[in-house]
Amino acid sequence: MANANYNELSKQMKEIKLLSYSQGMLYWDIRTYMPSEGIEQRGEALAILGRIIHEKNTSKKIGELISQCNKSDSGLGQIQKRNVELWKRDYDRETKLPSDLVVRLTKQSTITEHKWQEAKQKQNFEMVEPDLETLVELVRERAQALDAEKSMYDVLLDEYEPKMTAAGLRSYFTPLKEGVIKLIKKYQDMVADNPPNISILNKNIPVDQQKQVSKWIMNFLGMPPNRSRIDEAEHPFTTGFAKDVRITTHYLDDDPTGAIYSTYHEGGHALYELNTPEEHWWTGVGETVSMGIHESQSRFCENIVGKNPNFLKYFYPNVVQKYMPAFKSLDTDTFIKTVNAIIPSKIRIYADEVTYNLHVIFRFEIEQDLIAGKISVGELPDIWNTKMEEYLGMKIENNAEGVLQDTHWYAGLIGYFPTYVLGNIYNSQMLATMKKAIPAWEDQLALGDFSKIRNWLVTNVQNQGSIYDPIDLIKNICNEPPDTKYFLDYLNEKYSRIYNI
Amino acid sequence: MANANYNELSKQMKEIKLLSYSQGMLYWDIRTYMPSEGIEQRGEALAILGRIIHEKNTSKKIGELISQCNKSDSGLGQIQKRNVELWKRDYDRETKLPSDLVVRLTKQSTITEHKWQEAKQKQNFEMVEPDLETLVELVRERAQALDAEKSMYDVLLDEYEPKMTAAGLRSYFTPLKEGVIKLIKKYQDMVADNPPNISILNKNIPVDQQKQVSKWIMNFLGMPPNRSRIDEAEHPFTTGFAKDVRITTHYLDDDPTGAIYSTYHEGGHALYELNTPEEHWWTGVGETVSMGIHESQSRFCENIVGKNPNFLKYFYPNVVQKYMPAFKSLDTDTFIKTVNAIIPSKIRIYADEVTYNLHVIFRFEIEQDLIAGKISVGELPDIWNTKMEEYLGMKIENNAEGVLQDTHWYAGLIGYFPTYVLGNIYNSQMLATMKKAIPAWEDQLALGDFSKIRNWLVTNVQNQGSIYDPIDLIKNICNEPPDTKYFLDYLNEKYSRIYNI
C-alpha cells in the first residue's frame, strides 16, 4: 500500500516537473527566437501554465499522498524517504502561501522589473522606487507567511540554499572579505608600476569566429550535442533538464572573452543539469540541490578551469588564436595575465575572480538590512555608493552603474546573491579534494583534456543530485564542512603563480 | 445572465487556445532546435499538456456553459451564436474520446514521427512499421469513438475539412483526374521533341543566398517581422497564431527552387494565421476554418502567384538572379518554362502544379483503404509503388522516395492529404472572382507588387475566420459552390499561354 502511494506521488511529481520543463522551454523561446510582438500572448499562456502547476503543487491529493508516505510503517527505502522529505518541503512552502499573495507578487515583480529597465536606462532610481518598496513589502509578507518564527532573511535564503542561514554566511564571508582585501592590496602594490590594460582584449571578432570557439568549449566540457545546444540571448542563462539542456551566450563584436567565459559558465550549469542521477530523474533526488552548488559547477568551469594558466597555455594558442586570428598579435603570457587581472569594476558581471566576491558580500549586507527593515528602499542608492567606495574604492557616478545595475532585487529575488560566492567557496574546497584524486589535473588541462576532471565532478557532485543538502554534500565530498580557507588558498596560490606575488 | 455565461465560456476557450498555442510551440521546437535525445521527455511533457487540454475541453463546466448559451432565450448575437456552435462541435467531439486514448495517441504519434525521420534517412520502412501499425490502430479507434455510425474515413476527414465527405471528394477528384491526365498527355506530346530539363534548376547555391531570397519572399508577402519568423526544418510547416506565427523551410545546396517555393507555400499559410479577424482572436470565429481553405491560401502564394509567368518576369531577374548569381547563365523564359514544366516526380513536394494532384489522389485512395482495414500497414510500400507507376509512370527505387517521403501518416494525420487538392480547387475559383475585382492583377505582379492581391485575400478569405464553413465561404465569395472546372480552366489557360498548347 505504501508503495502504491509512493508510486502515485512520484507520478504526480513527475507530471509537475514535466510541466515546469515545458514552461522553461517557452521562456527559453521568449529569450531566443520569439517574434517581439508575441510577448503578450506568450505571457498569458505562461500565466495559465503557472496556475496549473501551482494548483497541482498544492492539491489535496498530493498532501494526502505525502502524509501516507510519511507514516512510520511506510516501509520506504532511504532514497524514497528523501524524496518524500523534499516533496513535503516544497508542498508545505507552496500551501503556506495565500494564492492572492502569489498573484500580487508575480504581478508586482513583473511591473517592477519592467520599470527597472526604464529606470536603469534613464539612470533614475526614483522612477522605480515606489514599486520596489511595494515589492520588498510583498517579499517580506511572503517570508512571514512561509515561517513567522524564523528571521525573514533566513526564510528567503533557504529557498535558494537549503539549510543555509545569514549567520552561516557571515561566518564564511567575514574571513573571505579580509583575505580578499589583503590579496587585492598585495596585487595592486605589485602591478603599480605596470598596471594591466584589459582593453587589449576588446578585439573586433566576427560572430562566426566566436561561435566556433563556443562550440569548441561545449565539446571540451563534454556537453553531448544530442542532448544540449547553445543559442544567443541578451542575458546568458541555462535551462532544461536531463536530455534537453540549453545554454545561451551573448556575442558582442568587441568583447570576445565575454562570450567565451559565459559559455564556460553556462556550460558548467548545463553539465550539472545533464548529470544529475538518471535513475532518479523526475523525482526530488534527481534534481540539482541548490543555487550555491549550481554556481560551484559553473564557476569551476569558468574560473578554476577556464582561467587556469596551464590550461590557457593550451586553450589560447590552439583555440582562441586558431579561430580568432586577430589574437595572433597578442602573446599567451599577456593573455593569461590580462584575463586574470584584478581590476575593481563598478559592475559585478564584469568583475574579476577576486573583487567579484566583494560585490556579492556588500549586496548581502544591504539586503539583510533591507528585509529586516533597518534601511528603507529610498536609502539604497546612498548605502550602495558608500559600500562601493569602502569595499572597492570606486566612486559611483549614477545609479545605472550603482544600485540599478542588477535585475535581482527588482525581480523580487532577495537572498539570491550570496549563492554566487558560496559557489566559489564550495568549488575551491572541491578542488582541494579533487587534487588528491587527480594530482596531475593541471597537466591534463595543459593538454586540453578535461575528461578526468569532468568525471570527478560528475561522480562526486553532479551525480549526487539532491540526496544530501548542500552542506552535507560538501562534508561527504571533502570530509569537512564548508571552509573559506580553501578559496583564499586557491586565490593566493594562483596569483602568486601568475604574478609572482 | 446569458452574457455572463458566454463571457465565462469565452474565457475558458481562450485558455484552451493559449494552451494549444504553447503545445504548438513545443512541437515547433522538436522540429527545429530540440536536441535529438530530448524527444522522449518532450513526448511525455506534450502528452500531459494534451491531457490537460483534453480535460479542459471536456469539462462539465464547459458543457454546462454551452447548454446555457444554446438556450433559445440566450439573446446572443450572430457571431456569438456561431462561436457557441463551433465550441459545441469541438466539445461533442472531445467528450467522445476517452482520455487514455488521447494520451496514447499523442505519445504514439510523437514517437512514430521521430522514428520516421530515422527510417527515411536509412531508407528502411521496417524500422517504423510496428510503430505506424500501432498508430493507425489508434487513429481507427479514435474515428470509431467519435462517430461509430459514419465511415471512419469521413469522420477523420471532417476534422480537417468540416462537412466534407469521401463521396464529395470523389465528385471533385474524378473529373479533376481526367482533366489533369488529358493535360499531361497534351503537354507531353507537345514537348516530345524537346523535353524540358528541370535539372538545370539544380544549381549549387550557398544556403546564405537562399536565405536572402526567403527573406525577400516573406517581405513581398507582407509577413511582419515582429510577428513572424522563418527557420529550417526537415519537412516545412507553419505553426503559431495571431502575433507569433512561424514558418519553416528546408535549404538544400543543389535545389534552390525547393526552398523558394516552400517559402511561398508556408508564407501563404502564415498570412492566413496572421490575418484571421483580430476582434475575434481566441474565439472559434477568430480561427482559420479548414485545412482546405488553409491550402488554398498557401497554394495561391506558391502557384498562382509564385509560378505566374508575368510575376516571374519580375521575380527571376530582380530576386533570383540578384541574390543567386549562379542563375545569371539561365534566361528568364527558360526559367519560367522549367519551373512550370510538367514532369512526373516521385516526390509530392517537388511535383509540378499539374501532376501534384495525382500524388494526392492516389494517397487519398490508399488511406481510405488503410483506415477501412482493406490493406495493412505492411502492404503500404508495395501498394504505393504500384500506384506510383500507374498514375505517374514512375518506378520507386527505395521507400525513402516512396511511402516514407511524407510525414503525415507517421504523425497520425490520415484524411489530411485531400485538403491539398481542395486548396487548388478553392483557390482557382477564388482567383476567377478576384480577377473581376482586380483585372490588372497580373500587371501588378509584373511590377513585384502583391499588396492589392494580398488585401483581396485578407478581406475576402482570411478575415472571414471561421464565420462560415468552407463550402459556404466559397459560396459567399464566388456566388456558387466549389466546382473543379475553375481549376482545370486555370491550368489549361496557363499552359496554353506558356507552351502554346
Question: pLDDT tens digit string along A190-220?
Answer: 898 888 999 999 999 999 999 999 999 999 9
CA-angle at A218, arms to A213 and A219, nearest 5°:
95
Which pLDDT value is given to residue B110?
Answer: 87
Please, are residues B13 and B87 in contact by the beta-carbon 8 Å criterion?
A: yes
Average pLDDT over residues A312-319: 98
Average pLDDT over residues B376-404: 96
Q: Facing residues of A238 across strands?
A: A247
Residue of B35, B52, B241 with shortest CB distance to A244: B35
Radius of gyration, alpha carbons of chain A = 23
- Asked if A231 and B33 come within 8 Å (Cβ–Cβ), the reply is yes
Interface test with A, best of B16, B31, B37 (most A CBs within 10 A): B37
- Asked if B45 and A226 come within 8 Å (Cβ–Cβ), the reply is no
Which pLDDT value is given to residue B36?
Answer: 95
The answer to whether A226 faces chain B, any CB pair under 8 Å, is yes
Average pLDDT over residues B467-494: 97
CB atoms closer than 10 angstroms to residue A392: 19
Give yes or no for residue B501 having a pLDDT over 70: no
The answer to whether B231 faces chain A, any CB pair under 8 Å, is yes
Rounded distance between C-alpha atoms, residue A351 and residue A341, angstroms:
10
Residue of A41, A242, A243 with shortest CB distance to B244: A41
Of B414, B413, B406, B362, nearest to B125 by C-alpha is B406
**Minimum CA–CA partner of B28 in chain A:** A29
The answer to whether A30 faces chain B, any CB pair under 8 Å, is no
The answer to whether A452 faces chain B, any CB pair under 8 Å, is no
Please, are residues B55 and B100 in contact by the beta-carbon 8 Å criterion?
A: no
What is chain A's percent helix, strand, coil content, to nearest 5?
70, 5, 25
Average pLDDT over residues B444-458: 98
Please, are residues B417 and B364 in contact by the beta-carbon 8 Å criterion?
A: yes
DSSP string, A429-482: HHHHHHHHH-TTHHHHHHTT--HHHHHHHHHHTGGGTTSS-HHHHHHHHHSS--
Average pLDDT over residues B417-443: 98
Q: How many helices (DSSP H) and strands (DSSP E) are in chain A? A: 21, 3
Backbone angles phi, psi at A247, to 5 degrees: -115, 160
Which pLDDT value is given to residue A1?
Answer: 52
Active site residue A161: no
- Whole-angstrom CA distances from A136 to A212, A370, A387, B301 are 43, 8, 21, 54
Percentage of chain A exceeding pLDDT 70:
99
What's the one-letter identity of residue B205? I
- Asked if A36 and B226 come within 8 Å (Cβ–Cβ), the reply is yes
**Minimum CA–CA partner of B50 in chain A:** A19
In CATH, B166-499 is 1.10.1370.30? yes
**Minimum CA–CA partner of A40 in chain B:** B243
Q: Which residue has the cell 539583510?
A: A368
- Asked if B226 and A21 come within 8 Å (Cβ–Cβ), the reply is no
This complex has an ipTM of 0.93
Q: What is the pLDDT of residues A257-281, one digit of tens each?
A: 999 999 999 999 999 999 999 999 9
Which pLDDT value is given to residue A494?
Answer: 96
Please, are residues A252 and A258 in contact by the beta-carbon 8 Å criterion?
A: yes
The answer to whether B103 faces chain A, any CB pair under 8 Å, is no
Contacts of B45 in chain A (CB under 8 A): 18-19, 21-22
Count Cβ atoms within 10 A of the Cβ of residue A208 and give its class: 0-12 exposed, 13-18 middle, 19 or more buried: exposed
What's the one-letter identity of residue B288? T
Mean pLDDT rounded to a whole number for chain A: 96
Which pLDDT value is given to residue B241?
Answer: 95
Pairing of strands B228-232, A228-232: unpaired
Rounded distance between C-alpha atoms, residue A286 and residue A465, angstroms:
5
Mean pLDDT rounded to a whole number for chain B: 96
Per-residue pLDDT band for B212 (boundaries 50, 70, 90) equals: very high
The answer to whether A219 faces chain B, any CB pair under 8 Å, is no
Interface test with B, best of A56, A239, A244, A275 (most B CBs within 10 A): A244
Q: What is the pLDDT of residues A352-370, one digit of tens each?
A: 999 999 999 999 999 999 9
From the candidates B159, B266, B302, B353, which is the catalytic residue? B266
A18-52 as b/e: b if 16+ CB within 10 A: bbbbbbbbbebbebbbbbebbeebbeebbbbbbeb
Backbone angles phi, psi at A230, to 5 degrees: -130, 140
Sign of CA dihedral B30, B34, B37, B40: negative
Is B391 in a helix, a strand, or coil? helix
CA dihedral A318, A322, A324, A328 (to 10 degrees): 90
Average pLDDT over residues B108-118: 93
Domain spans in chain B, listed from the N-terminal domain onward: 2-150, 166-499
Rounded distance between C-alpha atoms, residue B226 and residue B216, angstroms:
15
Rounded distance between C-alpha atoms, residue A74 and residue A76, angstroms:
5
Give yes or no for residue A303 having a pLDDT over 60: yes
Residue of B49, B231, B243 with shortest CB distance to A38: B243
Which pLDDT value is given to residue A73?
Answer: 84
Per-residue pLDDT band for B499 (boundaries 50, 70, 90) equals: confident
- Asked if A42 and B226 come within 8 Å (Cβ–Cβ), the reply is no
DSSP string, B335-350: HHHHHT-----SSGGG
The answer to whether B208 faces chain A, any CB pair under 8 Å, is no
Please, are residues A424 and A484 in contact by the beta-carbon 8 Å criterion?
A: no
DSSP B378: G
Which pLDDT value is given to residue B170?
Answer: 97
- Whole-angstrom CA distances from A489 to A134, A424, A429, A484 are 43, 12, 10, 9
Percentage of chain B exceeding pLDDT 70:
99
Q: What is the pLDDT of residues B141-177, one digit of tens each?
A: 999 999 999 999 999 999 999 999 999 999 999 999 9
Contacts of A21 in chain B (CB under 8 A): 41, 45
Give yes or no for residue B1 having a pLDDT over 70: no
Which pLDDT value is given to residue B500?
Answer: 76
The grid coordinates listed for A9 are: 506521488
Contacts of B18 in chain A (CB under 8 A): 41, 44-45, 48
Of A247, A248, A218, nearest to A233 by C-alpha is A248
Which pLDDT value is given to residue B2?
Answer: 55
Per-residue pLDDT band for B437 (boundaries 50, 70, 90) equals: very high
Rounded distance between C-alpha atoms, residue B385 and residue B402, angstroms:
7
Give yes or no for residue B341 having a pLDDT over 90: yes
The answer to whether B107 faces chain A, any CB pair under 8 Å, is no
**Minimum CA–CA partner of A44 in chain B:** B18
- Asked if A244 and B45 come within 8 Å (Cβ–Cβ), the reply is no
| A vs B: CB pairs below 8 A | 93
Residue of B22, B38, B229 with shortest CB distance to A45: B22
Q: What is the CATH number of domain A198-346+419-480?
A: 1.10.1370.30
Cβ neighbours of residue A67 closer than 8 Å, sequence gap 6 or more: none
Cβ neighbours of residue A129 closer than 8 Å, sequence gap 6 or more: A377, A378
Q: What is the pLDDT of residues B342-365, one digit of tens each?
A: 999 999 988 999 999 999 999 999
Average pLDDT over residues A102-119: 90
Q: Which helix (H) or strand (E) holds A349?
A: none
Which pLDDT value is given to residue B222?
Answer: 98
Give yes or no for residue B244 having a pLDDT over 90: yes
Residue of A19, A26, A40 with shortest CB distance to B243: A40
From the candidates A266, A273, A295, A367, which is the catalytic residue? A266
Please, are residues B451 and B460 in contact by the beta-carbon 8 Å criterion?
A: no
Q: What is the pLDDT of residues B249-263, one digit of tens each?
A: 999 999 999 999 999
The grid coordinates listed for B99 are: 482520455
Is B240 in a helix, a strand, or coil? strand
The answer to whether B55 faces chain A, any CB pair under 8 Å, is no
The answer to whether A61 faces chain B, any CB pair under 8 Å, is no
Per-residue pLDDT band for A501 (boundaries 50, 70, 90) equals: low
DSSP string, A100-120: HHHHHHHHHHHHHHHHHHHHH
Please, which residues 239-278 of chain A have a Cβ atom closer than 8 Å to chain B? 240-245
Pairing of strands A228-232, A244-249: parallel
Percentage of chain B exceeding pLDDT 90:
93
The CA distance from B266 to the nearest CA of chain A, in Å, is: 17
Per-residue pLDDT band for A482 (boundaries 50, 70, 90) equals: very high
Interface test with A, best of B28, B46, B223, B244 (most A CBs within 10 A): B244
Inter-residue long-range contacts of A370-376, CB under 8 Å, 24+ positions, other chains counted: A370/A136, A370/A414, A371/A136, A371/A139, A371/A140, A371/A143, A371/A152, A371/A153, A371/A156, A371/A414, A371/A415, A372/A151, A372/A152, A372/A153, A373/A140, A376/A133
Which pLDDT value is given to residue B134?
Answer: 98
Please, are residues B111 and B43 in contact by the beta-carbon 8 Å criterion?
A: yes
Give yes or no for residue A224 having a pLDDT over 70: yes
